[in-house]
Amino acid sequence: MKPGTILMALALIVSAVAHATAGSGPVKKSRSGICHCPGGQHYSRTKNFTAYPTIEACLDSGGRHPKRGQGDCSNASPATMPKKQTGGADTRAIDGDTLVLEGVTVRLQGIDTPEASQSCRNAKARPYRCGAVSTAALRLMLASGDVRCDLEPNPDRYGRRIGTCTAADGTDINRWMVRQGFAVAYRKYSKRYVMAEQAARKAKVGIWQGAFVLPWEWRRGKRLR
C-alpha cells in the first residue's frame, strides 16, 4: 500500500473514531453543582467532578443545569424530546401541573400534582392545602420570566398541549416540581421523573413529609382517613 493511501486511511479512521466518541462520556457535576454534559462549553475544562450516567441522575442529586449558551444537556437525556417549541414571558399557572403560555394551555408532561381542592397532612399530621401549595410553587417558577416549553405535536383529550417547560436559568420545571415534592411522577404516561420522585421521597420534602393520596386516586374518590 502506498504511503499516501495509508495516511488517507489513518485519517479516515481517526475521523470515524472522533465522530463515534463525540458527545460520549459521563455527565460531570462540578464542585459548584453544575451538571456539564459531553459537548458542552465547559465539559472538557471540568476536572474536579462527580460522574453521573445521565443528566437526570445529576439533577436528582441536587445538580443544576448550566446557563443557557453553555449546553442544555438535551443530548445526554435518554428521554425523547418533544417536536415543537413556543416561548415567552406571558405565563400564568392554572394549577400545579397546568399553565398558560402566550395563550396556549400546556399540561406539564410526565408529572401529576394534587388537585386544587386537595388536602394532605404535613409532618405533624396537620392538614394543609397541598394542591394550593403546588399551584403556588409553579407560579413561583413562572415568575422568573422567559419560560420556554417544548410541546408534543398532538393535544390531549382536553385540548391541552403536553410539554416540558424550562425556566430562564435552564431549570426543567417539570423535574423541579417533582424533586421539590410538589408533584409526583406520572408513571402512566412517562417514567422520566421517577428518579426525581425517589429523591424527593428520600429527602421527605413537600408532600413526602407527611401523608397524601396520589392525585389520580384522589380524582377517583379516595380520601385520607
What is the average per-residue pLDDT within 56-84?
57
Tell me, what's the pLDDT at 201?
Answer: 95
Distance CA 108, CA 127 (A): 26
Which tens digit of pLDDT belongs to each residue from 106-154?
Answer: 999 999 999 999 999 999 999 999 999 999 999 998 987 789 999 999 9
* Residue 18 cell numbers, joined: 472522533
Q: In this predicted structure, what is the pLDDT of residue 16?
A: 37
| Sign of the alpha-carbon dihedral angle for 214, 216, 218, 221 | negative
**20 versus 122: which is more confidently predicted?**
122
Interatomic CA distance for residues 62 and 97, integer angstroms: 22
How is the chain split into domains, by residue range?
Answer: 19-76, 84-219
Domain 84-219 sits in CATH 3.60.15.10:
no
- The length of the chain is 225
5-14, 96-105, 192-201: least confident range = 5-14
* Residue 142 to residue 89: CA distance in whole angstroms: 8
CA distance 120 to 38: 41
Dump pLDDT digits (tens) for 122-133. 999 999 999 999
Is residue 10 scored above 60 in pLDDT? Answer: no
As a whole number, the mean pLDDT across the chain is 81
Q: What is the pLDDT of residues 156-167, one digit of tens each?
A: 999 999 999 998
Whole-angstrom distance, CA of residue 209 vs CA of residue 123: 5
